[in-house]
């Protein structure tokens, strides 16, 4: 079950090697994103696109806010 | 959107999935850096004066006044141990009786903006309300600093000049 995390937990997880994934469309990602994040838009999230992620490391997904 | 993405990742077999539900709006509102074409220089956070005097509810006005004068400002923010803004002492309040407490003299709940606010919006607000400064706080209400109107207007002029120059260069045949 995915775990909801806050900002401080994000910083802690990233420092420990977690992967950050923005799931907004690419135009929004290009405009602004968290440092070190990669972009896999929700509509493109499938077994092919997630190959760029390492399964052994935690993954943090985010979008703009509570939408 | 991110909860659906998190569950989708789990359905594909990922076992350590976290959802930062507050997202990049929360990140930016805390004054943390963002990357991308928009750039942090279009946001209030890039222009904050972080050297702003603060005081506590139980201090005496005479003591606070000396501290504020030394900083070359005419305002002081009343904060608690967590740096959360409780009030503000403006020029008039600071000129009060020496023995009055900060709590008695302050204006409670001053309006604040987030560091993620577009600089252009902040300048519009300061012009519209004839403000010389805007306090900047994180989403938790912690004081990050002060946006001064002169600084903001000058930065905005520079940003607009840069944007116009890029537009002009881009339209060259």
HSE toward the beta carbon, residue B122, CA cutoff 13 A: 32
Closest CB to A42: pick one of B1, B26, B35.
B1
Rounded to two decimals, what is the model's pTM?
Answer: 0.75
Chain A contact set for B23 (CB, 8 A): 62-67
Closest CB to A59: pick one of B17, B23, B38.
B17
Interface of B with A (CB under 8 A): 1-10, 12-28, 30, 32-38
How many CB atoms lie under 10 A from the CB of residue B57?
14
Kindly determine whether residue B18 and residue A3, on different chains, have CB atoms separated by under 8 Å: yes
- ipTM (interface pTM): 0.96
CB A63 within 8 A of CB B23: yes
Closest CB to B35: pick one of A33, A47, A65.
A33
pLDDT in tens, B90-119: 999 999 999 999 999 999 989 899 988 999
Q: Of residues A66 and B158, which shows the higher confidence score?
A: B158
- pLDDT at position A65 is 80
B38 — pLDDT class (breaks 50, 70, 90)? confident
| Average pLDDT in chain B | 90
Strand partners for B148: B133
What SS3 state is found at B108? strand
Percentage with pLDDT > 70 across chain B: 98
- pLDDT at position A67 is 58
CA B164, B166, B170: angle at the middle one, nearest 5?
A: 115
Six-digit token pair at B139?
Answer: 């989403």
Task: Supply the DSSP string of B28-40, one letter for each residue.
Answer: HHTT---BSSS-G
pLDDT at B122 over 60: yes
* DSSP alpha helix (H) spans, chain A: 7-15, 26-31
């Amino acid at each position: 079950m995915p775990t909801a995390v806050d900002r401080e937990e994000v910083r802690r997880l990233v420092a420990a090697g977690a992967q950050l994934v923005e799931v907004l469309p690419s135009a929004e990602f290009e405009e602004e994103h968290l440092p070190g994040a990669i972009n896999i838009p929700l509509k493109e999230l499938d077994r092919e696109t997630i190959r760029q992620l390492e399964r052994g490391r935690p993954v943090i997904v985010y979008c703009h806010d509570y939408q | 959107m991110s909860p659906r993405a998190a569950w989708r990742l789990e359905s594909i077999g990922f076992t350590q999935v976290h959802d930062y539900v507050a997202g990049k709006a929360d990140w930016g509102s805390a004054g943390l850096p963002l990357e991308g074409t928009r750039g942090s220089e279009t946001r209030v956070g890039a222009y904050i004066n972080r050297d702003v005097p603060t005081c506590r509810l139980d201090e005496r006005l005479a003591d606070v006044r000396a501290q504020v004068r030394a900083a070359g400002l005419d305002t002081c923010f009343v904060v608690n141990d967590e740096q959360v803004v409780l009030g503000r002492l403006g020029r008039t309040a600071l000129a009060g009786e020496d023995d009055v407490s900060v709590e008695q003299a302050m204006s409670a709940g001053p309006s604040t903006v987030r560091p993620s606010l577009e600089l252009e919006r902040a300048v519009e607000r300061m012009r519209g309300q004839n403000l010389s400064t805007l306090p900047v706080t994180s989403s938790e209400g912690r004081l990050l600093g002060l946006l001064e109107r002169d600084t903001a207007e000058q930065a905005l002029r520079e940003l607009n000049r840069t944007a116009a120059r890029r537009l002009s260069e881009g339209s060259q045949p």
